[in-house]
Structure 1
């Protein structure tokens, strides 16, 4: 699959990576890049989709590409990241460290909590 293949909706390609860096909401990325999405999928997986898009973009060198090619790659990576989570749960992809470190086949180890009682107890003789 060509990672730079995108949808056919026209987008503004001038300095697209710089404009993407200034965005904050996931919906803005979809709007700027012209990628359609289901609100329900985005509400459940927005952080995972954006993290995965960043991972896909980091795998490619965009330094010598024209703006049009960079925009096409950005659109394709967002669509690819979205498709990853539109068809399966965030737990199955484990893009965040906390999910990668947790083995779902093993029970979580019991946690011991220690609370020092000395400073919290007052002597009965003081009353």
Structure 2
């Protein structure tokens, strides 16, 4: 058993299966016993979940007991939450759309090339 944010033990039995069945961010925090500020979660929920997914992708849980998995996943969720509790989603830019529109990056203009001849051709003639 691991202690939750409020000091109560959390149930680590079959933790991977239980986490796979969770859909809301609040449920992840609840199952793992991680405290959070609803204001932070409301602003950054997708960013936090994306970041924890990135952290989890770097882990190998095969053959580990549920207690160890729960502790590691909990630590990763706390880390991801911490990333966004102190700074905005624009600072971390975890999503492609934000990375592509970073004002600090040099602008690369991509333009489609349309030959001038094709514009001048009348419709219906080739």
TM-score bucket of the superposed structures, by smaller chain: 0.7 to 0.9
TM-score (norm 2): 0.76
Report the alpha carbon displacement of residue 11 of structure 1 after superposing the two structures with TM.
1.2
- 1:36 matched to which residue of 2? 35
TM-score (norm 1): 0.75
Query: Higher relative contact order at CA 8 Å, sep ≥6: structure 1 or structure 2?
Result: 1
Q: Distance in 2 between matches of 1:63 and 1:24?
A: 23
- 1:60 matched to which residue of 2? 59
Report the alpha carbon displacement of residue 103 of structure 1 after superposing the two structures with TM.
2.3
Q: Distance in 1 between matches of 2:96 and 2:107?
A: 18
5+ long unaligned stretches in structure 2: 110-126
CA RMSD of aligned residues (A): 2.2
Matched, 1:14 2:13: yes
Provide, for residues 16-55 of structure 1, a one-character-per-residue CA deviation record: whole Å limited to 9, x for no partner: 1211111111100110000000010000000000111111
Q: Distance in 1 between matches of 2:48 and 2:31?
A: 16
- 2:77 matched to which residue of 1? 78
The structure 1 segments of at least 4 consecutive aligned residues displaced by more than 3 Å after TM superposition are 105-109
Of the structure 1 ranges 10-19 and 78-87, higher mean CA displacement relative to structure 2 is found in 10-19
* Aligned length in residues: 106
- 2:112 matched to which residue of 1? none
Q: Distance in 1 between matches of 2:90 and 2:108?
A: 16
5+ long unaligned stretches in structure 1: 1-6, 110-127
